[in-house]
């Protein structure tokens, strides 16, 4: 079997995808900044296969014929607070275009990560009808970069033999600690309550929405990996689709779930949403999942309560192992 090339392989979702490949006996070529594979303690004891530095990838691809089963492109700058448009153009748009072009020329199946950030404030709903994509108005530079690549893909006359893009909603799960402030609210809530303090959530600044009732479509990373594997191996022939659960849950639900999983009392406080992101803040997201189901994907999605319980268990084990204070 030829290997699957995974970009962003030292990242949160990429590493979990490599892990799944290894469990199923699928060889991989792991692409990312080489130092990330060594510097992230949550990524332990996994054979990531051949490692290629992300800055050397196209030289590596051009140096010799490379037989690949597929390309799963998960590498990107995902910081929604970053404002450098040139950085996003270089890392999220142009890099993706080069990898798509290679996959097209060599006829390698191509699966890539888009984002629910492309939907902006949700005015045009969260329906993954591709005819709506050109009209979407993302609220930040990250979302605009993902939107730019989606639009470019839909304009291409020549494509890989099978290709699919996936609009990730709010992904959470073990292995994201290196993301720092961009890690999920589940992880930050765990850290706050584990240390004995309150879980801090953003106050609502919108009439009609109570504090903590801002809602997101939270999806466990294990479900994301299952869908990506389905897309690659079915394979999904073409198209840009949502990847969420189809059910929005509130941040208050999330915080209470973390407290419950820890066996601690509910201790929650609300803080003002920073001015710098207040006008870009999404108050509701919920994926329409019909198109994935129409492809034949039948696996149930993990409930928020079950996903939090599993994740918190792993974080407790990590904290005990690393002797973090209770």
Catalytic residues: 142, 179
Structural Rg of the chain based on CA atoms: 19
What are the strands, taking DSSP E only, across the chain?
4-7, 28-32, 50-53, 70-73, 110-115, 163-168, 170-172, 199-202, 215-216, 218-220, 240-243, 249-250, 268-271
Q: How many CA atoms lie within 13 A of 77 on its CB side?
A: 23
Looking up tokens 């299952």, which residue turns up?
Answer: 226
Dist. CA 200–CA 192, nearest whole Å: 8
Torsion of CA 242, 247, 253, 257, to 10 degrees: -80
Backbone angles phi, psi at 175, to 5 degrees: 110, 15
SS3 helix, strand, coil % of the chain, rounded to 5? 45, 15, 40
| Location of structure tokens 């394979």 | 235
Q: What is the DSSP string of 86-135?
A: HHHIIIIIIHHHHHHHHHHHHT--EEEEEEGGGGTTSTT-S---GGGGGG
Which is nearest to 190 in space by CA: 111, 262, 293?
A: 262
Cα angle value 271/272/275 (rounded, 5°):
150
Q: Which of 60, 61, 73, 7 is nearest to 36 (CA)?
A: 7
Q: Which residues contact 204 (CB under 8 A, 6 or more apart)?
A: 210, 211, 212, 213, 214, 283
């Amino acid at each position: 079997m030829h290997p699957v090339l995974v970009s962003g392989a030292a990242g949160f979702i990429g590493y979990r995808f490599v892990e799944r490949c290894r469990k199923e006996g699928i060889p991989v070529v792991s692409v990312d900044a080489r130092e990330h594979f060594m510097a992230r303690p949550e990524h332990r004891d996994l054979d990531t296969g051949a490692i290629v530095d992300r800055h050397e990838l196209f030289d590596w691809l051009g140096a010799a014929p490379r037989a690949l089963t597929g390309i799963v492109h998960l590498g990107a700058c995902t910081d929604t607070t970053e404002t450098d448009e040139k950085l996003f153009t270089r890392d999220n748009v142009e890099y993706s275009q080069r990898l798509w072009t290679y996959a097209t020329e060599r006829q390698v199946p191509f699966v890539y990560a888009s984002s629910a950030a492309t939907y902006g404030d949700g005015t045009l709903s969260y329906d993954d009808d591709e005819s709506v994509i050109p009209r979407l108005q993302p609220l930040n530079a990250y979302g605009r970069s993902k939107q730019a690549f989606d639009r470019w893909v839909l304009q291409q006359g020549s494509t890989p033999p099978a290709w699919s893009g996936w609009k990730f909603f709010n992904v959470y799960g073990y292995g994201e600690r290196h993301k720092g402030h961009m890690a999920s609210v589940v992880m930050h809530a765990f850290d706050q309550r584990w240390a004995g303090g309150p879980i801090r959530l953003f106050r609502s600044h919108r009439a009609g929405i109570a504090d903590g009732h801002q809602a997101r479509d939270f999806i466990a990373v294990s479900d994301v990996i299952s869908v990506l594997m389905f897309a690659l191996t079915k394979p999904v022939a073409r198209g840009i689709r949502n990847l969420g659960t189809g059910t929005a849950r509130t941040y208050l639900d999330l915080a209470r779930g973390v407290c419950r999983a820890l066996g601690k009392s509910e201790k929650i406080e609300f803080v003002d949403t920073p001015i710098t992101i207040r006008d870009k803040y999404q108050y509701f997201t919920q994926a329409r999942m019909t198109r994935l189901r129409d492809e034949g994907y039948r696996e149930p999605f993990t409930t928020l309560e079950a996903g939090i319980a599993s994740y918190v268990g792993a974080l407790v084990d990590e904290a005990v192992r690393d002797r973090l204070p209770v």
